[in-house]
Amino acid sequence: MTATYGTKDMMRILDIRRKANGDFLEEVKLAMLMANEIEVPGKAMARGYASIEVYKNNYSPIAGIFFTRACELAGELDIRNIKIQASMNSVGDDEAVEEAYSRIPIEKQPASRRLGEVHEKASISNKRGFFELMPLAKINVVKGTGPNFDLRYMSTGTMEVWRTNEGKFRIIYTGSPIPTALMGQAREFRFDDKRETWMMADYIEVYNMMNLMPLYGTSITGYMYH
């Protein structure tokens, strides 16, 4: 299935929300300015779907502005007839990542981007030789929600990013204000009746977890220490 929006689309809509600072009329104004600059129907479609995600509303007026622009450009009355063209679908595209992070204060970015920062880790007792994890299913880092995770009730602590041997990324929630491992450190985990060794790749404060998206994507498989 083709993605309905890319990382760049999401960052553009988040930028509208940030600049408007809760002022709905300002959001509409900024969305209209952005929509009028778009010349490709599929790109307008992608911004519309990203707006639905950001504003958590299938009938978002902001999304409607972009869908209307898509119809104008395509000469269509039904958006279902317009092919979506996400601005960036591949997570980790260097140019798009840098553009996304240019709008985020450095102190709110993942630790891997804070050059020169002195990293430390929390002490954690482990006599078994492995760490047991409790699966949290997929977590939407932008919304801060998942089947077994809700940022409203887990807003303190750290979200660790681990890389599997297959090159996939997993996040582990810990209530500690600092991570339980240093970046580059390997650790053996047990979960779902299996053991795997992962490498610590990154971390970020839980309340800034949405800023993991440009590097690691919107939906990431999550766990927490048992």
pLDDT tens across 197-208, in order? 999 999 999 999
pLDDT above 70: percentage of residues in the chain: 92
3-state secondary structure of 186: strand
pLDDT bucket at 89, cuts 50 / 70 / 90: very low
Flag the least confident range among 47-51, 77-81, 92-96, 135-139.
Answer: 92-96
> Residue 92 and residue 103: Cα distance in Å, rounded?
16
The pLDDT, as a whole number, for residue 2 is: 45
pLDDT bucket at 90, cuts 50 / 70 / 90: very low
Q: Which of 126, 101, 124 is nearest to 204 (CA)?
A: 101
Is residue 215 pLDDT above 80, yes or no?
yes
Regarding predicted confidence, which is higher, 98 or 222?
222
Beta pairing partners, 171: 161, 222
Flag the least confident range among 34-38, 134-138, 163-167.
Answer: 163-167
CB 170 within 8 A of CB 136: no
3-state helix, strand and coil shares in percent for the chain, rounded to the nearest 5: 40, 25, 40
CB 16 within 8 A of CB 27: yes
Helix (H) or strand (E) holding 68: helix 61-74
The 10s digit of each residue's pLDDT in 42-56 is 999 999 998 998 888
Q: Which of 163, 162, 127, 159 is nearest to 146 (CA)?
A: 159
75-81 average pLDDT score: 85
The 10s digit of each residue's pLDDT in 93-119 is 566 677 778 878 888 999 988 876 767
Nearest 5 degrees, angle CA 88-CA 219-CA 29? Answer: 55
10-31 average pLDDT score: 89
| β-bridge pairing 194-205 and 158-163 | antiparallel
Query: In Å, what is the CA distance from 66 to each residue of 11, 40, 222?
Result: 15, 11, 32
Full-model pTM: 0.62
CB 206 within 8 A of CB 149: no
Average pLDDT, the chain: 86
> Residue 87 and residue 213: Cα distance in Å, rounded?
15
The pLDDT, as a whole number, for residue 3 is: 64
